[in-house]
């Protein structure tokens, strides 16, 4: 077996009994909050495979809600996430599903408030590591382990180059980048993992580029 990090062997610092079902679940919830840009007011959480079968006993439920409240994997408040959510006026519902998925630890989070709604699919791949595989119908591959930006843009020539040049102008190195679209000439999505956290001023600059609709940051 090949390990890429000591954390693949000893696991993450965390609250809960399982790095896959608890720490990974908390990270999925926290990334969803980051992508939404704020704490949602409601959440519908569809669980698949092993998540659906053991989510109560392994703390997957409290971990996801803790993540939506911006709690890290080691935050003791994960234990009281349900009560904290009620105080924060966050309502939620867990929906165990029987449909087959490619990975047994899969969750689809549909979250929102009075102004917006977002759908995200995340999987917990072991050792507390996760991958985000879908966002609002766009297929993607996002590890959640590196700082990242997601850029929603019109499917037009020059958009990718403009964003890359903006990052290069601030000496920010791209570690991984993917682009997906639903239809040719319609809306598209850039997923860019970078080597350091990006200042909000750079995000604001990127948002003013032609044909850019929305820029979202995920901090490490």
DSSP notation for 46-67: EEEEHHHHHTTTTTHHHHHHHH
Establish if 86 belongs to a structural domain: yes
Task: Report the pLDDT value the prediction gives residue 18, as an integer from 0 to 100.
Answer: 53
The whole-model pTM stands at 0.80
> Of 125, 142, 159, at which residue does a domain stop?
142
Flag the least confident range among 172-176, 180-184, 186-190. Answer: 180-184
123: closest CA among 106, 108, 99?
106
In the 8-state DSSP scheme, what is residue 201?
H
Flag the least confident range among 9-13, 99-103, 164-168. Answer: 9-13
**What percent of the chain lies above the pLDDT cut of 90?**
65
Task: Report the pLDDT value the prediction gives residue 82, as an integer from 0 to 100.
Answer: 97
Query: Does residue 211 share a domain with residue 116?
Result: no
Q: Where in the sequence is the domain holding 170, given as residue range(s)?
A: 148-218
Distance of alpha carbon 43 from alpha carbon 20, whole angstroms = 21
Q: How many CB atoms lie within 10 A of CB 115?
A: 7
CATH number at residue 133: 3.30.1330.90
Q: What is the CA radius of gyration of the chain?
A: 17
> Of 121, 142, 163, at which residue does a domain stop?
142
Q: What is the mean pLDDT of residues 182-201?
A: 90
| Dihedral pair phi/psi, residue 212, rounded to 5° | -95, 125
Query: Does residue 121 share a domain with residue 57?
Result: yes
| Number of domains observed in the structure of the chain | 2
| Dihedral pair phi/psi, residue 67, rounded to 5° | -60, -40
Establish if 195 belongs to a structural domain: yes
Establish if 1 belongs to a structural domain: no
Task: Categorize the per-residue pLDDT at 26 as very low, low, confident or very high, splitting at 50, 70 and 90.
Answer: very high
> Of 95, 126, 142, at which residue does a domain stop?
142
CATH number at residue 156: 3.30.70.260
In the 8-state DSSP scheme, what is residue 22?
I
Establish if 2 belongs to a structural domain: no
């Amino acid at each position: 077996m090949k390990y890429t990090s000591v954390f693949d062997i000893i696991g993450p610092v965390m609250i809960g009994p399982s790095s896959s079902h608890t720490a990974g679940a908390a990270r999925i919830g926290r990334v969803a909050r980051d992508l939404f840009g704020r704490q949602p007011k409601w959440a519908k959480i569809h669980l698949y495979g092993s998540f659906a079968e053991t989510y109560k006993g392994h703390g997957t439920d409290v971990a996801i809600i803790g993540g939506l409240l911006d709690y890290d994997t080691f935050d003791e408040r994960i234990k009281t996430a349900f009560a904290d959510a009620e105080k924060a006026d966050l309502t939620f519902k867990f929906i165990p599903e029987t449909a087959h998925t490619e990975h047994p630890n899969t969750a689809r989070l549909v979250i929102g408030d009075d102004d917006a709604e977002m759908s995200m699919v995340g999987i917990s791949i072991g050792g507390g590591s996760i991958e985000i595989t879908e966002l609002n119908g766009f297929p993607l591959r996002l590890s959640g382990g590196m700082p990242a930006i997601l850029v929603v843009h019109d499917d037009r020539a020059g958009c990718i180059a403009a964003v890359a040049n903006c990052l290069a102008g601030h000496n920010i190195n791209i570690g991984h980048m993917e682009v997906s679209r639903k239809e040719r000439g319609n809306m598209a999505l850039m997923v860019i993992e970078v080597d350091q956290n990006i200042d909000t001023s750079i995000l604001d600059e990127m948002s003013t580029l032609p044909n850019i609709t929305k820029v979202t940051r995920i901090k490490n």
